[in-house]
């Protein structure tokens, strides 16, 4: 799994991200700022621990986790959540539980040349594609 997953990715395509950000409660200005950047994601592995760093011109966030174990996460929108990442082959499914019942599901599908990310809250889904760099 590590050979396909570990690496560095840059955003290349996005769809419905504004609606997703609005649904999680981000205001107009923050949504416009979030959409004005092309974030990069770097994923590394050390034994059974994974690190995922997301960086853009606006901010950098980092999570460290073991697959299948819950961990605290401060989302980039400032909301504290309990997260868990489960793996099924080259697909990771992350569930973020903020405590208000409005869970977010993020599915990451890793391929040799790209990472496809589908983020869902309620009935709103955003799709983003990152190219391996």
Q: Where are the domains of the chain?
A: 7-132
What ranges in the chain are assigned the alpha helix state H?
2-5, 17-23, 28-35
This prediction has a pTM of 0.94
pLDDT confidence bin for 1, thresholds 50/70/90: very low
> Which of 56, 58, 108 lies closest to 83 in space, CA to CA?
108
CATH architecture of 7-132: Beta Barrel (2.40)
* Mean pLDDT (whole number) for 102-131: 97
* Of 1 and 52, more confident: 52
């Amino acid at each position: 799994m590590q050979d396909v997953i570990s690496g560095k990715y840059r955003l290349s395509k996005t769809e419905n991200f504004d609606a997703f950000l609005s649904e999680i409660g981000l205001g107009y200005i923050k949504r416009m700022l979030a959409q004005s950047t092309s974030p990069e994601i770097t994923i590394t592995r050390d034994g059974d621990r994974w690190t995922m760093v997301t960086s853009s011109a606006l901010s950098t966030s980092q999570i460290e986790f073991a697959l299948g174990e819950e961990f605290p996460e401060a989302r980039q929108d400032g909301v504290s959540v309990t997260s868990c990442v489960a793996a099924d082959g080259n697909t990771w499914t992350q569930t973020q539980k903020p405590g208000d019942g409005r869970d977010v599901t993020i599915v990451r599908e890793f391929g040799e040349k790209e990472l496809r990310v589908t983020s869902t809250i309620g009935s709103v889904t955003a799709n983003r594609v990152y190219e391996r760099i």
